[in-house]
Amino acid sequence: MRSTLKPLLFLVIIWFAGVVFFLGVGPLGNKPFLGFPLDDTWIHFSFARNLAEHHGFGLNPCEPSSGSTSPLWVVLLAFLNLLGLSFETAALGMGIFFVLLTALCVEKIVFALTGEKKAAVAAALLVLLSGRFLWGALSGMEVALFSFLAACGICLHQKFLQGDRGSLLPALVFGLASLARPEGHLLFVLACGDLCLRNIRRLKEVGPSVFSYVVVYLAVVSSYLGFSWILTHRFFCSSYYSKMLFTWRMEAWPYLKEYVSLVFLDNPFLAVFLFSGLWEGIRRRWGLLSIWLVVFPLAASRVSPILIHHGRYLMPLIPFYVIAGFLGLHRLLHGRAYRIVLVMAIVWSIAGVGLWGRTYATDSLSIYGQHYRAALWLRDHTDPQDAVASNDIGVISYVSGRYVVDLCGIIRLSVMRIMCSSAPEESRRHMLWRYLAARRVKYLAYYPEWFPWVDDRACLKKVYEVRFTGNTIAASDTMEVYRVLCIE
C-alpha cells in the first residue's frame, strides 16, 4: 500500500508545484492578473450560462446552436455553476484537475508497457511539466478533459482486448471523449479497426461484442449528432464546418512540417526517440496508441489543417507524444545515458513551464486588452435590446450581454454563403446588410482587414476603436465598432 501511495504523493506534489510555477511566473507574476488566452473560452461560457439559466443550448438565449465543439465541457461548466462556482473558476479548476488525471492515466499506460514503476512515474512527471499542455489545460478550454478521456479510453480498450470481452466501458469513455472534442470520433473508429484486426480470424465469435461496442458509443454521441443534424443538416458541430472555409487553413505539407516542429519544441529530448517509441507501442501490442499518433496528423492535414493559437488543436495529444518519446528513450538508452537524457528532458520541461506561463499571461492580456474593452464599451453604450455582429463572438457575447450575430459561421452556417461568396463586392454588401437587417443588428464589432469589402461609408459609422499594441494572439491589433445605419 505504501509503495503505491508514495508515487501518487510525489506526482501530486509535482502537479501542485508545476501549476503554481506556471501561474506564478505567468498570469500572477508581475500583476495579480488571471485571464484566459482565447476568445473561444468565452463562447463556452455563454453556452453554459444559457444552459444553466434554462435558456437552451446556444450562444444567445433561446436560440439553439451546435456551435460548441465540446458539449460535454459546456454541460460540466453549467453543472458546476449551478453548484455555486463561477464559470471562470470552474473552467480553471477542471483544467488543473484533468491535468492530474491525464498524468495518472499516462503512468498506468507506461507501467503496463514497461513493467517499471519508476519509468511510469517519470513519464507522468513529464506530462505534468509539459508547458504547452498546461497552457491549453488552463486556457478554459476542454484540452485536458479530452486528453484524460482519450488516455482512459485507450487503457480500457487495451484491457478489453486482453480478455475482458463483456466490458462496454471503453465505448462509453470513447463516446464521452467525442463529446469533449470531435477528434474523439476518429479515435473510436481507430479503436474499432484495432479490435477487428486483432480478431480477424474469429470475427464471428467476437462480432456481438463489437456490435455492442458500437451501439454503446452511438448511444452516447447520437444526441449531439442528432441535435446538429436538426439544426444544420450536418452531423458535426457548425464551428467545425466554419473553420473549413476560412483562410487560416494550411496546405497539407506545410501543416505537417509545422506540426512536427511543435512536437519537437515541446521536448526535443523526447521527440528524437518518437519513432522508436511508436514502434515499441506496436511491438508490445498497444497499436491503438501508436496508430492514433500517426493517423491524427495525417487526417488533420487533409480535413482540418489549422495550427492557430500555438497549435491548440493538437495540445490534447501532447501527453501521448510524451508517452511515445519516453518509450523510445527507455527502449534505446540504458544506465547513465538514459538518466542523463531523462534529466535533460525534465530540465527542458521545467524551463518550458516558465516560458509558456509567460506566454499565457501575454496572450490573456491581448484578449482582455482588446476584446474585453470592446465588450465593455458595447455593454455601457448600447441598449440591452441592441444586436451586435462580430467576427470574434466569445468575450463580446459573454461580457456585453447583447444578442450576437456571428460573421464567421460558428453559430449559424448560413452566413457563410455571404462571407465566402464570389459575388461582386457591392452584391455581397447588399446581401450582408439584408442578413443583418433581418436580425436587427445595430452595431458591428470586427476586424476591417478580415473583410475589406464590408467597408461602406454610407452604411457604417465608426463609433469606437480599441487598439492593443502588445497583441500576441488576437487576429488583429485593432478591433473597430461601427453603428450600422443602412438597416434603420
User: For 377-394, what is each residue's pLDDT tens digit?
Assistant: 999 999 999 999 999 999
User: For 311-359, what is each residue's pLDDT tens digit?
Assistant: 999 999 999 999 999 999 999 999 999 999 999 999 999 999 999 999 9
On whether both 376 and 349 belong to a single domain, the answer is no
State the pLDDT at residue 415.
87
On whether both 338 and 450 belong to a single domain, the answer is no
Cα(315)–Cα(318) distance, rounded to whole angstroms? Answer: 5
On whether both 374 and 311 belong to a single domain, the answer is no
pTM for the model: 0.94
Q: 47-51, 210-214, 225-229, 310-314: lowest mean pLDDT where?
A: 210-214
- Residues forming beta bridges with residue 462, ordered by sequence position: 482
On whether both 107 and 80 belong to a single domain, the answer is yes
On whether both 289 and 230 belong to a single domain, the answer is yes
On whether both 408 and 291 belong to a single domain, the answer is no
Q: 124 pLDDT exceeds 60?
A: yes
State the pLDDT at residue 144.
98
On whether both 196 and 257 belong to a single domain, the answer is yes
Choose among 264, 251, 241: nearest CA to 305: 251
Confidence of residue 24 (pLDDT cuts 50, 70, 90): confident
Give the number of domains in the chain. 2
State the pLDDT at residue 32.
45
80: containing domain = 2-361
On whether both 431 and 460 belong to a single domain, the answer is yes
Identify the domain boundary among 334, 361, 388: 361
Sequence-ordered strand ranges (E) for 358-402: 387-390
On whether both 351 and 396 belong to a single domain, the answer is no
Helix (H), strand (E) at residue 18 = helix 2-25
On whether both 117 and 248 belong to a single domain, the answer is yes
Kindly state the greatest CA–CA separation across the chain: 77
State the pLDDT at residue 350.
97
On whether both 35 and 65 belong to a single domain, the answer is yes
User: Residue range 434-462: average pLDDT?
Assistant: 90
Identify the domain boundary among 361, 380, 400: 361
User: Residue range 119-135: average pLDDT?
Assistant: 97
Identify the domain boundary among 326, 361, 396: 361
User: Residue range 96-114: average pLDDT?
Assistant: 96
User: For 224-257, what is each residue's pLDDT tens digit?
Assistant: 999 999 998 888 888 777 776 665 678 889 999 9
Cα(114)–Cα(111) distance, rounded to whole angstroms? Answer: 5
Q: State the Cα torsion 346-348-354-357 to the nearest 10°.
A: -90
Confidence of residue 219 (pLDDT cuts 50, 70, 90): very high
